[in-house]
Amino acid sequence: MTTLHVLAVASEAYPLVKTGGLADVVGALPAALAAHDVQVRTLLPGYPAVLAAIGAAPVVHAYADCFGGAASLRFARVGDLDLAVLDAPHLYARGGGPYADANGRAFGDNALRFAALARAAADLGRGVVGPAAPDIVHAHDWQAALAPAYLHYDGGVRPGTVMTVHNLAFQGRFPGVTLDRLHLPRQAWAIDGVEYHGAIGYLKAGLALADRITTVSPTYAAEIRTPEGGMGLDGLLRHRAQDVRGILNGIDDAVWNPATDPRIPSRFRATQRAGRARNRVALRARMGLAPRVDAPLFGVVSRFSWQKGLDLVLEALPALLRGGGQLAILGSGEAPLEAAFAAAAHAHAGEVAVHLGYDEDLAHLMQAGADAILVPSRFEPCGLTQLCALRYGALPVVARVGGLADTVIDANHAALAAGVATGFQFAPVTLAEFTRTLDRVLALWADRPRWRRMQARAMASDVGWQHAAASYAGLYRELVRR
């Protein structure tokens, strides 16, 4: 097998910059692909945190004018990642997050910031800047989605292109007038190009023009081709059905391994779970929950957004508390949800506890100490928290949508009898079904030997990257144009 060279393009990569699961995937996939003789270089925007991590990395190309200012491409290796960084101070050297300022207001020039990223990807992809051209350019989400478009309209020899959708809700739509500033030809303004209902659709362009489309679970791959799940792009996705694949995410075993995790007070494994009980005590203490050792401890680790269905957790709280449960929540996002969870913690001090914010150590402790993790998402392309939960023996309680449906085996009678259940699923995503499922969780909790058997099975679930890496490697090899 010859070594395949891939340029991955994304706006986040763990551990350098992360707002969600996209970063986890982009950060972990390259190491898993190395086993398949695939070498990945990952192009990232030169955010301050990224520049700090690469230090004085060498410049491989200088742009005199990159969408309004001078810029350079710099190559570096950080941990397992070979990086290409677009160092463009006029676009990325600023405070706040990757997409918005410190007050959460989206940057006004996001169209240019991510067009520049895609333009650099296309230049590297064609080998007109930097070293020899890669075989494949792999774009992740809307921030990278113009890369297949630039490669398409540049003409001439180009690498194969893959567009991966991590979340169809984020599409990168900008006013049509932006087109003049993107350095795309007039013919790109077309129904089979970047035009999208009178505006410019970055993700739409990637979906229309990449050689292949992937998304992060088989069920989500089917859902996005329906009007309910397609968010306006289902027609295009049905049209391209032959080229759409669902490849299930994994989690990074070096980051999420209870037997070696340096972030948790006590390490443990499926066959030796005494450490887990100690983490449970530590989690209660850390969150200020009453030390009721027999109470089932439910956890949430999540962005607070409509997608995640956390309003259902609030609505089901009385039932959860009546059933004797406790609840620990870690997350941040929409202000009304933050306020509502803070109020619930205040009203039920000692039984409900909330940590508002982003805290990786606490996220690990939640997985290592909670008895069950709640993921009642309205839609979920893959979801990583339920995979972490399986690995750490916190039984996932999930909505039967997207990747949640593909990764958790519901504890129904048949699955329990066969000894294969790993968690709980509910559908449809309503308060009635969620509450009914919490009752099932509480009933199983009352049968502790059975609970522990299920916990051991959950921990034995295959949640690594091996299968996905083989699938991506196979897909790349189909697209090699040499």
Residues lying near ligand ADP in the complex (CB under 6 A) are found at 20-21, 24, 301-303, 330-332, 358-360, 363, 382-385
**Taking the complex as a whole, how short is the minimal distance between the CB of residue 19 and ligand GLC, in angstroms?**
8
Query: Taking CB under 6 A as the rule, does residue 167 contact ligand GLC?
Result: yes
Extended beta strands in 182-225, E state:
195-196, 199-201, 212-215
| Shortest distance (Å) from residue 52 CB to ligand ADP | 20
The whole-angstrom distance between residue 68's C-alpha and the CA centroid of its chain comes to 31
**25 binds ligand GLC, rule: CB under 6 A:** yes
Calculate the alpha carbon distances from 388 to 87, 109, 335, 377, 385 in Å. 34, 36, 26, 16, 5
Q: What is the DSSP letter of 13?
A: B
Whole-angstrom distance, CA of residue 81 vs CA of residue 10 = 13
Stretch that binds ligand GLC, among 16-24, 55-63, 74-82, 452-460 (CB under 6 A): 16-24
Q: Please, is 396 exposed, middle or buried when counting C-beta atoms within 10 Å of its C-beta (0-12, 13-18, 19+)?
A: buried
| Binding partner selected for residue 359 from ligand GLC, ligand ADP, none, CB under the kind-specific 5 to 8 Å limit | ligand ADP
Residue 383 binds to ligand GLC (criterion: CB under 6 A): yes
Query: Which does residue 238 bind out of ligand GLC, ligand ADP, none, counting CB within 5 to 8 angstroms by kind?
Result: none
Q: In the bound complex, what is the minimum distance in angstroms from residue 189's beta carbon to ligand ADP? A: 32
Which residues within the stretch 353-382 sit at the binding site for ligand GLC (CB under 6 A)?
A: 380-382
CB of 220 to ligand GLC, least distance (A): 8
Closest CB to ligand ADP among residues 201, 250:
250
Among ligand GLC, ligand ADP, none, what binds residue 324 when CB lies within 5 to 8 Å by partner kind? none
Q: What is the CA radius of gyration of the chain?
A: 23
CB-side exposure of 140: number of CA atoms within 13 Å?
22
**Contact, 140 vs 8, CB < 8 A?**
yes
E strands, 279-350, in order? 297-304, 326-333
Distance (Å, rounded) from C-alpha 455 to C-alpha 269?
Answer: 11
Binding to ligand GLC by CB under 6 A, coded x per residue (else -) over 193-232, reads: -----------------------x----------------
Shortest Cβ distance from residue 225 to ligand ADP (Å)? 20
Q: Which is nearer to ligand GLC, 275 or 381 (CB)?
A: 381
**Is the Cβ of residue 325 or residue 331 nearer to ligand ADP in the bound state?**
331
Q: What is the C-alpha separation between 445 and 443, in angstroms, rounded?
A: 5
Backbone angles phi, psi at 375, to 5 degrees: -135, 80
Beta strand 424-426 with 195-196 is unpaired
Contact 30, 36 (CB under 8 A): no
Whether cis (ω within 30° of 0) applies to the bond prior to 428 is yes
Q: Are 75 and 83 in contact (CB under 8 A)?
A: yes
| In the complex, least distance from residue 287 CB atom to ligand ADP, rounded to whole angstroms | 13
Question: Would you say the C-alpha torsion 305, 309, 310, 311 has a positive or negative sign?
Answer: positive
Which of ligand ADP, ligand GLC, none does residue 385 bind to, with CB < 5 to 8 Å depending on kind?
Answer: ligand ADP
What residue 301 binds from ligand GLC, ligand ADP, none (CB within 5 to 8 A, per partner kind)?
ligand ADP
216 binds, among ligand GLC, ligand ADP, none (CB under 5 to 8 A by kind): ligand GLC
C-beta of 325 vs 403, nearer to ligand GLC: 403
Q: Taking the complex as a whole, how short is the minimal distance between the CB of residue 90 and ligand ADP, in angstroms?
A: 29
Q: Which is nearer to ligand ADP, 91 or 375 (CB)?
A: 375
Q: Least distance to ligand ADP from the beta carbon of 367, Å?
A: 8
Q: How far is the CB of 23 from ligand GLC (least distance, A)?
A: 8
Query: In whole angstroms, what is the distance from residue 55 CA to residue 16 CA?
Result: 13
Binding interface with ligand GLC (CB under 6 A): 20-22, 25, 166-167, 216, 249, 380-384, 403
